[in-house]
Homo-oligomer: A and B are copies of this chain.
Amino acid sequence: MRHSSSAAVLFVSIALLICSQGLLASQPGQSASPLTAQTNDLTSLVDIQKYNRSIHIMAMLLVGFGFLMVFVKKYGRSAVTATYLLVSVAIPVYFSVKSYDIFGEALSADIDKFILAEFAAASLLICAGAALGRLKMVQYMVLGVIFTFVYMLNEWIVTGGGFGLVKTGFADTGGSIVIHAFGALFGLGVIKTMTTSDEFAQPIETDASSDRFSMLGSMVLWIFWPSFCAALVAPELLPRTIVNVVLALCGATVATYFASIVLRKGKISIADIANASLAGGVAIGSTCDHASHPAAFLIGLLAGVVSTIGFSVIQGKLQSKLKCIDTCGVLNLHGWPGLMGGIAAVFVVEGINKSNQLKGIAVTIIVALVAGYITGKILSAFGRKALVYADSDEFADAEA
């Protein structure tokens, strides 16, 4: 009961935060718009096209990230429930905080604010993937609240001129750095604390059914990735952007197959295919609206190889060294390919301020690692999950 009462406190405070803030800040800008708008005008048509992309992103968040994490055999119910809760915490928190002038100027356009909130939720899901199976549901939600604030801080510093550290012009349209690398490195900080020695020794089981669900998640991410990268891109740049993203994904998928067969000595791993195929989407993020098509394809190829090396070679060594487990391998899918994509912008984007780009990357790395480490300490104060990688300690109707 201690458990649920502390949880209830958290819950009420989140709810009040959101309602009060939304009440004060979010409505005025919003309710004004229908008064001035003319039906059928072009602006609202463009907004509705953004809205279509926001729905695509939501499919990535829930079915995409959610089912990609169902690869843990006995933890499927928990993985999708955690996904639901993480998204349902991050979006209202981001949306209402962004209605104030806290991290940069308040935004009044609902659709833009909603899409930015979805980006935050994506980054959070990446982060949570690192600790998947070792957090209680309440810990996922606490992580959600803390993460969203730090994410907004970093987003503001790197892309909004916060504290004057990074100048405008930081190239990261599709979020290779501020979404993917940030989430993965934050997760690395968290798992430093959130892996006990027992948990470190515990094997993670999969089976044919969980593997197929995981591939479903992977494919949903692949399908809608162009909408993710192009969500806020101007209409006339959209065709080039989405073709670039598709070409990068194609490149990564083919490269992953060959890298996996070579690195695993003759047999491929379905985990490589499900994950590293997406590394093209991660890496093209920073340059998706600037790269030429061949450059996009090449970035995808490289990202697929880098990610597969991560899964098959680096992960094992790094985990042994750091004594922590990255359950979903988010460093391999979002970490290295994300950083690679951010650096690629230096070579691909014409007229870019190179030192500024590198400074933004460095800031993101530092903020993510430090904040993640502190957050891990905070989470550990909420105790440890009774049965790791299993539904049965939290779900009434689950097999033991």
Which residues of A are interface residues toward B (Cβ below 8 A)? 1, 3-4, 7-8, 11, 14-15, 18-20, 22-23, 26-27, 30-31, 33-34, 37-49, 51-52, 54-56, 58-59, 62-63, 66-67, 70, 74, 76-77, 80-81, 83-85, 87-89, 91-92, 95, 109-111, 113-114, 137, 141, 206-209, 211-213, 215-216, 219-220, 222-224, 226-227, 234-240, 242-243, 246-247, 249-251, 253-255, 257-258, 261-262, 264, 266-271, 273, 277, 292-294, 297-298, 301, 391, 394-399
A54–chain B nearest beta-carbon distance, Å: 8
Q: Which residues of B contact A84 (CB under 8 A)?
A: 219, 222, 253, 273, 277
Contact A137-B268, Cβ < 8 Å, known A84-B273, A208-B398, A216-B63: yes
Q: Which residues of B contact A251 (CB under 8 A)?
A: 15, 88, 92
A296–chain B nearest beta-carbon distance, Å: 9
Q: What are 26 pairs between A and B in contact, CB < 8 Å?
A: A4-B262, A8-B262, A14-B254, A19-B298, A20-B294, A31-B240, A38-B236, A44-B235, A47-B238, A55-B227, A59-B220, A63-B216, A74-B208, A76-B208, A76-B212, A81-B268, A87-B253, A91-B250, A95-B243, A95-B247, A95-B293, A110-B239, A114-B239, A137-B268, A268-B395, A271-B397
Contact A254-B19, Cβ < 8 Å, known A211-B76, A240-B110: no
A44–chain B nearest beta-carbon distance, Å: 4
Q: Is the CB of A239 within 8 A of B51?
A: yes
Q: Which residues of B contact A258 (CB under 8 A)?
A: 4, 7-8, 11
Q: Which residues of B contact A34 (CB under 8 A)?
A: 236-237, 240
Q: Is the CB of A269 within 8 A of B62?
A: no
Residue in B closest to A20 when the chains form the complex, CB atoms: B294
Alpha-carbon separation in the docked complex, A260 to B99 (Å): 31
Q: Is the CB of B212 within 8 A of A293?
A: no
Q: Is the CB of A219 within 8 A of B45?
A: no
Alpha-carbon separation in the docked complex, A251 to B44 (Å): 27
Cβ-defined partner of A111 (8 Å) among B211, B239, B270: B239
Cβ-defined partner of A267 (8 Å) among B8, B80, B394: B394
Q: Which residues of B contact A4 (CB under 8 A)?
A: 258, 261-262, 266
Residue in B closest to A226 when the chains form the complex, CB atoms: B55
Q: Is the CB of B89 within 8 A of A254?
A: yes
Q: Which residues of B contact A206 (CB under 8 A)?
A: 397
Contact A39-B8, Cβ < 8 Å, known A55-B223, A81-B273, A277-B84: no
A195–chain B nearest beta-carbon distance, Å: 22
Alpha-carbon separation in the docked complex, A20 to B220 (Å): 30
Q: Which residues of B contact A239 (CB under 8 A)?
A: 30, 33, 47, 51, 109-111, 114
Alpha-carbon separation in the docked complex, A60 to B27 (Å): 30
Q: Which residues of B contact A246 (CB under 8 A)?
A: 58, 91, 114
